[in-house]
Every structure is written in structure tokens, then in C-alpha cells.
A and B are shown apart, each in its own frame.
Chain A
Amino acid sequence: MNLSMSGGVENLGNSTTTVIKFGWIKEVWNFRELFYFFIWRDIKIRYKQTVLGALWAIIQPFFTMVVFTIFFGNFAKVPSEGVPYPVFSYSALVPWTYFSGALGASGNSLIGNSNLLTKVYFPRFAIPASAALSGILDFFIASILLFGIMIYFHIPLSLDLLFWPVLVIPLIFLALGLGMIFSSLNVKYRDIKYTIPFLIQLGLFVTPVIYPISILPDKYKLFVALNPMTGIIEAFRSTVIPNKQIDFWLLLYSVIVSLLIFLFGLMYFRKTEKEFADLV
């Protein structure tokens, strides 16, 4: 949608420009309160009328870690890079849980908010963006438990941990970028929503969450490294596991790919956003 402002006049015409204009960024900034309200609403809903409230943030990664430890750590005897398997897997599960949650939420966000799309105007970006961001609180709560687990297993806490919260940023871009692509496609083609949980499941296996990269044969290492999640997850782990160095180049690759996916997703979203109200 071309919203050019000249002399305070808005021109609503049919335009095919898909370039992300500075005007759009300004508009999103003007609507930032609505953003906060959507996130506030999602978080409030999640915790209202629940017995366990904030504990839900921990339950998913924690119990997954327990099950993985039993089956992969103990029975399958998957190596865990010098630390107890629970620490190894939990440190990857916390960011992974955030990512899969954010991708699922933003991927379905447009269809889920169809009544808003047909009745009110606001930059549509607010919908997938707030869906992706509302999981951040859970991420931080689950991270606190990580420190508890580390202390329990006597893993020394190093300064590297300061990096932990920073690393969630490329994760947000990646989840949101993919989320925008999926949610736009989903408006047009309703069966896309079935592919998201399926892709997330596959993603769990092509990312070194359950296993360390070291157990893979060399050519598969390259394949897994191409997955942008790999660099980020490995980096998360490096802040936790002592003597594990951050693979800087892999992380850089992941960050760049995440940003590119985000930009591509944003452009595709902006291009198709005009039709949302008509199709949803």
C-alpha cells in the first residue's frame, strides 16, 4: 500500500511498490503502543486463569530435557561435550523452545486475528511481530532455571553468560522472518498451517540440539552448518559450557542469514499485505 504523505495529505492508491520505505518505519513507530498492547494481551491471556502461571514457561523445556536425558543421554549414550547431558540439552532447548513457539505463533497470527484485519487499520506487521515477541518473557524465565541447573551440576558460571540474552536477537529475526512468510502464505493457502509443526519437528533434528555436531560425519557437518539455527544454538551452548569456544564465523553466518530471511520475509509480507483483508 502506497501511503505517501505530502503536506499532511495521505494518498491511498493502488501501488505496486514493495520497497520498504522510511515512511513505513515511521508508521510502525507511531503504532508502537498497539504493539505493546498486543504483547501485553498475549502474555496476560497466557497466565490468566492458570494454576501454574509462570511455571508453564519452564515446563516445556524442562520436561523435554528430562525425557531427552533418559533416552538420548542414558540409553543412546549421546556424548555431551564435557558437561552432564541435562546441561547440554537444556542449554539448547531454552532457545529452541522460544524459536519454535515464536515461529508457530507468528505463522498462525494473521488467520488468528482475522477479525482485526477486516475491521481496523494498523500496520499489519504488528501482528506477526507481537506474536513472535510475546514468547520472550517465557524465554527469560526458562533461562533462570538454566542457571539453577548449572549450579546444581557445579558448572562454573563465566562472563560468557552475559552473551546469553544478546543471542536471542538473531533468533527473533529468524523466527519473525519465517513467521511473516508463513503467515502471509497461510492467508492465501490454508493448508500451509499444517506444514509449520511438521517443519519444526524436522528442524529439531537438523539442528544440534539433541546431539553435538562432533558426532556427525564431515559432509553432514556442512549440511547442518547451513542451517542458520545451528550457529545460534552452538553459540548459546558456548556461553554455558566452559572451554567451548564460540564459533565466531558460524555465528556470523547465522546472523547474516537470519537478517536476510527477515528482510525477505518483510518484503514478501509487505507485498501481500494489501490482500489480507480480502482473503482472510
Chain B
Amino acid sequence: MSEYRMEHSIIVENISKKYDISKLKKDTQFREALVNLLKRTFLRDKINKEEIWALKNVSFSVEKGEIVGIIGRNGAGKSTLLKILSKITIPTSGQIKVKGRVGSLLEVGTGFHEELSGRENIYLNGSILGMKKKEVKEKLDEIISFSEVEKFLDTPIKWYSSGMRLKLGFSVAAHLNTEILFIDEVLAVGDVAFQRKCLDKMKELRNSGRTVIFVSHTMITVEHLCPRALWIDNGELRQDGRTADVIKNYMGGIRGEWSADFKISEFSVLKQQSGFDLTLVANRQGSGDIRFTGMEFLDQDGHLKKTIRSGDRLKVRLYYQGNKPISKPEFYFRIRNEFGEKIATLSPFLSGYEIPTLYPGTGYIDVDIDFLNIMPSRYYITLYILHDNGIINNNIVDDIEHAGTLDVEVSNYYQSDRGIDKWWGIMFLPCKWNLEGMNIHEESVKSM
């Protein structure tokens, strides 16, 4: 095995990764583990193991200087693959051989500490990413000017806006000089001008002879930057080839759901498909006279929705349990993006309903969203219940900041096989183009 010369930079052989979900379901306590051990020894009880295969027999190889994109829906295993390649977690079986110095960018600003200044964080973050102090020093001026935060360089970053923080983080990462780079889409950062800068920097990579594996959620960037792409679906390598072909198949498959038997690896996506159990949530505020007990995303027939896409019709069902009558209750369902910004807040209150009294007991409330006008991304759901003019009087009954996640996938709404994702904007507006006023030969216009 060690005799043959490594022409390839990276060889992935039959990588599989298994997670034991039951372990992750709740923080294990030592005394529980002890009890389980006794159970196993004396009662021969089989402890319920829920296993999920995040990756199944993935194999591919990458040559020196190649730039490879990885696409796939959320929870398909892309990030897990990158983590394994970055040595952050180990595979359950299989081998990976890597030749060369590796730099991983799985997040922007890893290790940033609020109390330290921008300058100090540059050194800290650089060191964490694997750069030597000398390297950082040499490139310091470049890093500072790329980040556009010169004026505030010596103030603690806790005073920085989120945009400044992202710019700083990205500019350190952009100067990482390893032969091999693993990047988990960190490009959608900052304002438009900065995004342009980032893209240009990424293009430089293409010409630098470095080997890059790039996990992306936006089709355009993959097409732009990577000649070759891998499609990971359900933990398996579905296709490996020319980017344009792979994207076509990926998008084409969205026309009709190609696989009904989804087993998603990522825990939060798993929960989204089976409903969120909110009884276990400890981090909540409010009097507790009514509590949310569950949240489900349903399709029109009332079944749990397996995949939620931009433009879909979505029904959200919120289960609650109350032990006291509440006067004038107001229920709120809020969607936030990854930056914590409010995307939408839905409430019967805003829709003009006034419930005089909600009696104790269990129940549920449904909201039907005609058209999900938001771009593919991961969103966070906040739920809260107020009562008696709660907004003014701050009467909070239950308040869960992070009730669950909503992963919206790219849709093929126009059946065009062209990915409409967050590269293109923040909202998805359904539209119809009319070309009649144009000076063209209408018959020659192709439409899918």
C-alpha cells in the first residue's frame, strides 16, 4: 500500500460513518450510563440503539491541483465528509490518504474571542487555522486591507457588527496557504461588494495549483469555480463528474422526488421530518401556564413533509398543553435566518383573530402557508405565546428561542433545472415572463 507513489492528493476509499442517535438524544448522565451497564450485564437487556449512516461506502480520488465541488441536500452527508477529511471526526470504516498540508475552512472566524481586538484575533484565528505566527505577520497588511476593518483593528471584536466579524474571519482564511483546502461554503458573507471580493479570491485559487474540495449550497458558485462535482445523496456518492452534468441530474431529480425512502443523517433534518418534541426543551421563558409540546411541518394531507422547498405550500402544526385558562392568548411563529435576522412572524393575532379564552388541556393550532417565498437555506424557528396585549405588557406564557430548524431546499419550480438559491437573493418571487414584446422568433425560444 505504501509503495505506490501518491500522484493523487487525496484518496478516499469506502468511507462510512455511523452515528448512534440514541446517544445524542439527550445529554447522557453518568448515573444513567452506570444503570445501563448494570442492565446489560445482569438483565441482558439490549439497549435501544438507533443508528444512522451518515456516509455509506464513499470512494473517490482527487488529483493534485483539482478543484472539486460537492453538492447535495442538507443532511446528505457533505459536511460529515468534509469533517472526516479534516480529521475532526473519524470514519467508522474505510481509509483516507492525504498527501500535503491541509487547511480546513468549515466556518469563518473559528476561535474568535470577543474580548480580544481585531488584530489579536487575526493572530489567534490564523494560528488555529494552522498558520505560523511568522506567516501571519508577513501577510498582516494584506489581511487587514482585505478585511476593510483597519479603523477598528485595535478594538475588541465584541464591538464589531456581524458583517465586520465575517469580513475579518474570511480575510484571515483567505490567506491560508496550504496545498490542500477543504472549504464548507463560507462565501455568502458580507455585503455584495465583499462577496464579489470573496469570489475573486476563490477564483485565484483555481489558478494557484492548489487542490480544493468545496462544499456548496449554491449552484452558481459550484459551476463558476469547480470543473468537477460530486453529488452526495443519503450518504452515498450518487454521481462524480463534470459539474454541469452533475448539477443537471441533481436539479432534474427534483422534478419528481426520486427517492421516497429518505434516511437523513443530520440530526436536525431528521427531527424536522419526524416533528420536533418540545416537551424536552429546557431553555424557555414565560409563566408556563401553556407550553408548546410539539411542532410539525405537514403537507396538505396532514402527513409529515419529507422535503420542504422554496415555493412549497407548507402547513405548520403547533401542539400545546395548558393547565390554566388563559385570557386573550396570542401565538407567534417566527422564522429567523442564520444571522438571527427576523424573516417572518406569523400569528393569529396579526391575522386578526382574537381568542377570548383558551381553556386548559392539550390541543394544536395550524397555520397554512400558501407559498414559501424564502430561498433555500437553514432557518431557525422561534415560538412564543403571549396573553392580554402581551406585546405591550410583556405577558409571556411560553417563549422558546430555538424551537427547531427549518431546512428549505432548492426547488425546480420552473422545471428549468437551474438552481434558484441564495446566491440570487433572499426571497423567492414566483413570476411569469412574457416575451411577446420582444423582437425575436418566438418559435426559436426554448422553454422547458
Interface residues of chain A, those whose CB is within 8 Å of chain B, are: 1, 3, 6-14, 33-34, 37, 41, 44-45, 48-49, 115-122, 185, 188-192, 274, 277-279
Residues of B near A278 (CB, < 8 A) are: 19, 89
**Is B113's CB under 8 angstroms from A12's CB?**
no
Q: Contacts A44-B120, A188-B28, A189-B28; is A12 near B19 (CB within 8 Å)?
A: no
Contact among A7, A14, A185 with B91 in the assembled complex (CB-CB below 8 Å)? A14
**Is B116's CB under 8 angstroms from A45's CB?**
yes
**Is B98's CB under 8 angstroms from A6's CB?**
no
**CA–CA, A12 to B17, complex, Å?**
13
CB closest residue in chain B, given A44? B116
**B432, CB-defined interface residue at 8 Å:** no
Contact-residue size bin, chain B (C-beta under 8 Å from the other chain): 35 or more
Residues of B near A37 (CB, < 8 A) are: 123-124, 127-128
Q: Contacts A120-B88, A121-B104, A277-B88; is A34 near B127 (CB within 8 Å)?
A: yes
CB closest residue in chain B, given A118? B88
Q: Which chain B residues (13-39) contact chain A, with CB distance < 8 Å?
A: 19, 23-24, 27-31, 33
**Is A121's CB under 8 angstroms from B87's CB?**
yes
**B195, CB-defined interface residue at 8 Å:** no
Contact among B30, B110, B129 with A192 in the assembled complex (CB-CB below 8 Å)? B30
Contacts A34-B128, A122-B128, A191-B31 given; 13 further ones with Cβ under 8 A?
Answer: A6-B2, A10-B97, A12-B87, A12-B90, A13-B94, A14-B91, A44-B120, A115-B107, A119-B106, A121-B88, A188-B28, A278-B89, A279-B24
Q: Which chain B residues (98-130) contact chain A, with CB distance < 8 Å?
A: 98-100, 102, 104, 106-107, 110-111, 113, 115-116, 120, 123-124, 127-130
**CA–CA, A244 to B156, complex, Å?**
50
Which of A33, A116, A121, A278 is the most central at the interface, judged by chain B CB atoms within 10 Å of its CB?
Answer: A121
For B59-101 the 0/1 string (1 means CB < 8 A from A) is 0000000000000000000000001111111111111111110
CB closest residue in chain B, given A116? B111
Residues of A near B106 (CB, < 8 A) are: 118-120
**CA–CA, A11 to B87, complex, Å?**
10
CB closest residue in chain A, given B126? A37
**Is B95's CB under 8 angstroms from A12's CB?**
yes
Contact among B28, B88, B116 with A117 in the assembled complex (CB-CB below 8 Å)? B88
**Is B95's CB under 8 angstroms from A13's CB?**
yes
Q: Contacts A117-B88, A190-B29; is A14 near B94 (CB within 8 Å)?
A: yes
26 intermolecular pairs with C-beta atoms under 8 Å apart = A7-B2, A8-B99, A9-B97, A9-B99, A11-B95, A12-B91, A12-B95, A13-B94, A33-B132, A34-B128, A37-B123, A37-B124, A41-B113, A41-B116, A41-B124, A44-B115, A48-B116, A49-B115, A116-B128, A117-B88, A118-B106, A119-B107, A120-B88, A120-B128, A190-B27, A278-B89
**Is B23's CB under 8 angstroms from A279's CB?**
yes
The 10 closest A-B pairs by CB, nearest first: A189-B30, A6-B2, A121-B87, A12-B96, A37-B127, A190-B27, A277-B89, A13-B95, A119-B110, A119-B106
